[in-house]
Amino acid sequence: MEEAGKRRWIPVLRDLAVTLLLLGAAIGCSSVLAQFFDDNNPFAAALFILAVALVSRYTKGYFYGVLASAIGVFCVNYMFTYPFWEFNMSISGYPLTFAVMLFVSIIISTLTTRIKRQEQLRFEVEKEKMRADLLRSVSHDLRTPLTSILGASSVLLEDEMPEESERQELIREIHKDAQWLIRVTENILSVTKISGGGVVLKKEEEVVEEIVGSAIVKFRKGADALPVHVSKPEQILLVPMEPTLISQVLINLFENAASHGETATRIDVKISCEQGRCIFAVEDDGAGIPPQVLPHIFDGNLSGTPGKNPDGRRSMGIGLSVCRSIIKAHGGDISAYNVPGGGAGIRFWLPCEGNV
C-alpha cells in the first residue's frame, strides 16, 4: 500500500518539476534580455507564453498549464515591467495587457491538453481495434492446426501397426502444425507486450546484422524455409529497438514470403540507412500481392483469402497486423508494395538518429 502511494506521487512530482524547470528557463532568458533594455522587456511576455505552451505539452491535465499562466503573468508584471520589482496594475494599458496575456496562456493550455487527450483516445481506439483483429484471426489460426493434430494423433493411436511411410507423414504433419502454433503464440505474446496499459518498450541499441541473422536462423528451422540473401551497408548499424519484437517482425515477413509467394524461390533482405532512418526491405521473386489485397494487407483480417491459403493454416493477416503494431510502437512505419519485374515486398523503417 505504501509503495503504491509512492508510485502515485511520481507523476505529480515529475509534472511539478517540468513546470518549475520551464518557468525557471523563461525567467533566466528574460533576465538576460533585460540587461539590454533599460525600459520594459518586450520579449518577456512572449517567452512566458512559450513556457506555458511547453508546460501544457509535457504535463498532464489543465492544472499545471493554468498555474504556469498565473505565475507567468505575475513574473512579467513584477520582474520585467516598469516599475521593476513592484506589482503595479495602475499604469494605463497594463490591466488589459496582462488580462489578455493570462487569457491567451489559458487558451493555449486548454487546447494543448485537449489535443493530447484526443491523441490518447485515438491510440486507445487503435489498440482496441488491434486486439479485435487479433482475436478474430486467432480464432481461425488456432482451430485448424489443432484439428489437424487431433486427427493425426487419433490415427496413430487407433492404428496399432500403420505403414512406416504413413506413420512418418502423420508425425511430420503433427510437427508442422505444432511449429505453426508456436509461431502464432509468439505473435500473441508480442501483441500482449506492446498493447498492455502503461507498457513502455525498453529499447537498446542493437547491431542490425545480428538481429537479422538471428531471425534468419529461426526461420530456417521451418519446413517451408526459402534461401535468404542479405544486402547491407559496410558500416555497422546500431539501431534502438526491442530486439525480440523486431526479430519477430522479420520472421513473420520471411514466413509470409514463403507461404504466399507461390512461385517464390528466394527472399532478399535489403538494409539501408538514410535521413535518420534504418530501412528494412523484405522482397521475394514470387507472384506479388493482388491489387485488391494491397490496401488492406495490414488490417489483420485476411484469413482465408481466396487462392492464398489452401491449407487453412497460414493466415497472412495476423502476422502483418502484428508487424505493423510493433513497428508503430518503435516510432517507425511499414508499407507493402509489388516489386518491379515480379514479387512482393514489405518495407519498414526504424528511427536511428546516430547513423548517417
Residue 316 grid cell: 497472412
Query: Looking at residue 169, what is its pLDDT?
Result: 82
- Alpha carbon separation from 286 to 8, 86, 270 (Å, rounded): 54, 78, 17
CA distance 38 to 300: 65
pTM (2 d.p.): 0.55
- Contact between 111 and 49 under an 8 Å Cβ cutoff? The reply is no
Q: What's the grid cell of residue 267?
A: 527472399
Q: Give the C-alpha separation, 28 to 133, whole Å.
A: 52
pLDDT at 209: 93
* AA letter at 350: L
CA distances from 253 to 236, 249, 317 (A): 23, 6, 11
User: Rounded to an integer, what distance in angstroms lies between the CA atom of residue 49 and that of residue 72?
Assistant: 8
Per DSSP, the residues of 35-96 read: TT-SS--TTHHHHHHHHHHHHHHHSSSSHHHHHHHHHHHHHHHHHSSSSTTS----STTHHH
pLDDT in tens, 316-342: 445 787 788 889 888 899 999 999 988
pLDDT tens digits along 159-183: 666 677 787 888 888 887 787 777 7
Handedness of CA 223, 225, 227, 231 (dihedral sign): negative
Contacts of 320 (CB under 8 A, 6+ apart): 252, 256, 297, 298, 300, 302, 336, 346
Q: How far is CA 116 from CA 58, 119, 263, 323, 333, in A?
A: 10, 5, 48, 26, 21
Residue 303: the pLDDT is 46
- Helix, strand or coil, per DSSP, at residue 19: helix
Residue 316 near residue 302, CB atoms below 8 Å: yes
Beta-sheet pairing, 267-274 with 228-231: parallel
Question: For the chain, which ranges sit under pLDDT 70?
Answer: 1-7, 37-41, 89-98, 101-102, 105, 130-131, 133-141, 159-162, 184, 187-188, 190-200, 222-224, 300-318, 354-356
Which pLDDT belongs to residue 58?
Answer: 82
Instruction: Tell me the C-alpha to C-alpha distance, in Å, between residue 230 and each of 208, 294, 312.
Output: 11, 25, 30
* CA 328 – CA 313 distance, rounded (Å): 26
> What CA–CA distance (Å, rounded) separates 69 from 110?
11
Give me the pLDDT at residue 134, please: 63
pLDDT at 351: 92
Cis peptide upstream of residue 83 (ω within 30 degrees of 0):
yes
Contact by Cβ (8 Å): 177, 145? yes
